[in-house]
Each structure stands twice: as structure tokens, then as C-alpha cells.
Structure 1
């Protein structure tokens, strides 16, 4: 089982893929969708497909893809860069990062169960150990995995459980919606 991101018109949420075929899939929901909603499903590695919600029962939903998918291509983990990257929520929130004797607020650009992209990290160094504190979600040790000017990517020491991240994110604003996606 793997997680995926559902991008709707007004929200983003995480889900767990339970069953999948070339024409649709069953997911465990951690956010809110409604029958007939159109969503963009983003799998690990950033591969996307458009679908509509056909049914919802308890915390599960059935999605029908707009066009059949190539399962090998969607789930192939032999791709180069980012193929193992967990789906990320593009969320509007802040974090406090502590490194050395400094403690700085930074803007979260996106977050997954295992990593966070931040704006405002120009003082951080690649490979540096830091502590990140996100109110209501997590306080964790992390390492700076990459840096590009004032953007940084942190890898958390311990992953955030999917359900906890999804619950926390449900009350936040998101940076993109379905209408921002390419193939509308």
C-alpha cells in the first residue's frame, strides 16, 4: 500500500491506495470528498491522473479514472530522481527551525509524512542537523537534505503518521487546487 494525494477544487488530502486497476481505484480517505467530485490523484514520484469520485462508504472511496492508466508506468519505482518521494501537501503554514543557537520562523511550502520544503532557509547548510517545530503537528529532529538559495528541504528523523498529517492539514489553506492543474 502507498499513499497518494487527492487534489480537489478547494482542498488537498492524503489517501492510502487499497486496490487499483487500469480504470479506477479504491482508497482509504483522510480528507473530505463528495460523490461526483473531480480530483487529480498524485502518486509517489509526482505521477498524476484525473478521476471522479463514484462512491463513498465509511472512510473509503471508489474513483474512476478519466482515461485508463498504465499501471507499470504509474507505480514503476525504477525511475531516476524523486521516484520514492511521498506525495506532498502544498499548504500555507509556518514552522520554527532551530539550528545551533538560532531559532527562525520559516514558511512551509509543502509537507509530506517524511519531509518538508521551507522558504526562508538561506542560513541553513546542506547536511546540517536541525529541529523543526510545527504547532499542532510535530516537533522533530531533521536534516537539511537540499538547498537552493532560500529554499530548503528537510528530511524528518521519524515520519509523521498519514492520518495525523491529514487531520492537521484539513484546517489549513492550500497553495493549489484542481483548476491550477494542467489537464482540466
Structure 2
């Protein structure tokens, strides 16, 4: 079962005010009042705007869903769906699984600008080549849950979750294609079907797809992040 705990926990406080040292800002410069989205920000690297592409922010202790709004070879800006614990650095995971460490340069409302800490191939970031067909963003968890089937409930653990399904671990031998209901704290009863089975892990496909904003708030709450 996967864990995202690391040795250097971030300071916990709610975001929403610009970061210090604005002289260090480059392509992810903080927008001035009334300028956000107007293209008035001073940037030194060409950027691609309004991508509206899902991604994941990974801190030492948590994982969060976000949406990329603009992108360059040196950094990006993202939209988030809730307050985040304060953290100076994240790893950005793109939809194809590529990961790049990045430094938080500014935070303004639901927008955040980050600068890459290593060189990035802008063409690859834009094209996002992958052997998976539009793989959904999965948030890794380790949460207890109940899997309900007709006449019996099972204790399971949620290993990861996306808007389309979840991976669970279970000691029981479950039949493929079974209709089930997944329940957990902060997760409403969710109808699903067992799609695959492998070494005690099962893949569930949800009957109804979650909106990204709903998924973002659910996984934040499941990780005990105050919203």
C-alpha cells in the first residue's frame, strides 16, 4: 500500500496571501490587483495560457487536485478548489504521470504560481505523451472504507481515487463485475463495479463520475485537511 509521508513536513496554515521576495519572480509572477488573467503580468519566458488541464500537487504529507491555467518552460500557474496547508515546494504531477518539483512563488485566492526547480521540456508538457489514454488524475490515499455487497459488507482500504474510480485493498476474494457500494468518512455512498483484481487489490469503476471540484474537496477532507 502506497504512502506519501516524507521526513520534512510542511508548515500548516491557510494560504491566500502573496509569498515574500517578489524580486525572484519570473514567468510565474504574481498578478497585480485587477490584472489577473489580463496578460499584464511581467514574464520572461513564453507561456501557453488557459490550458484548463488537470494535474496534482504533491507535498510531503498530502496530494491535491488542481487545474493548470498557464504554462511555460520555467513554471506554471494553477487553480485549486480549497485552502491548502502552507508549503514552500510541491511536486507537480501531470496527467501522463510526469513529475517536476516546483517552488511556490505566489498565492492569490484560488490561484498559485510555481517555478520549476529543474529544466522542463515545454513541448512535452504541452503534448503530454503517454501510453495511457487520457488517464485520470489519481490521488493516493490510505483510508479505511466499507465495501457493501448484497447481504454482506467488507472492510477495505482505499489506496487511490479519481473522479472515475478507485483502487482498494481487501483480504476477501471478490468476484469481478460485481456491483458494490463504496463508503468512507467524507465519501458519500458511491455505486461502482469491480473491474479488475490483482494481488489483493481491486479496481472499481464508479457508476457516476465525480466533478473535479467535488473530488478535490473529498480527498482533501479524507486527508484531514481543514477546508
**Normalising to structure 1: TM-score of the pair?**
0.81
**Could you list the runs of 5+ residues in structure 1 that have no partner in the other structure?**
175-184
Aligned match for 1:91, one of 115, 135, 141 = 141
**Structure 1 range deviating more: 41-50 or 157-166:** 157-166
Matches for 1:157-172 after TM superposition, within 5 Å: 157-172=207-222
Structure with the greater relative contact order (CA < 8 A, sep ≥ 6): 1 or 2?
A: 1
Question: Which structure is higher in strand share?
Answer: 1
3-state SS, counterpart of residue 214 of structure 2:
helix
**Structure 1 range deviating more: 52-61 or 102-111:** 102-111
TM superposition outliers: structure 1 runs of 4+ over 6 Å: none
**Structure 1 range deviating more: 135-144 or 162-171:** 162-171
Note the alpha carbon deviations across 1:149-170, whole angstroms, 9 max, x for none: 2101111122222223322333
Separation (CA, whole Å) in 1 of partners of 2:217 and 2:130: 31
- How well do the aligned residues superpose, as a CA RMSD in angstroms? 2.3
Separation (CA, whole Å) in 1 of partners of 2:192 and 2:165: 9
Question: Are the equivalent residues in 2 in contact too, given 1:137–1:164 (CA < 8 A)?
Answer: no
Aligned match for 2:106, one of 51, 55, 64 = 55
The offset of 1:142, in angstroms, is 1.1
Decide which structure has the larger Cα Rg and report it: 2
Separation (CA, whole Å) in 1 of partners of 2:122 and 2:186: 37
Aligned twin of 1:182: none
The offset of 1:75, in angstroms, is 4.7
Matches for 1:27-38 after TM superposition, within 5 Å: 27-30=78-81, 31-34=83-86, 37-38=88-89
Q: Work out the number of aligned pairs and report it.
A: 172
Aligned twin of 1:114: 164
**Could you list the runs of 5+ residues in structure 2 that have no partner in the other structure?**
1-51
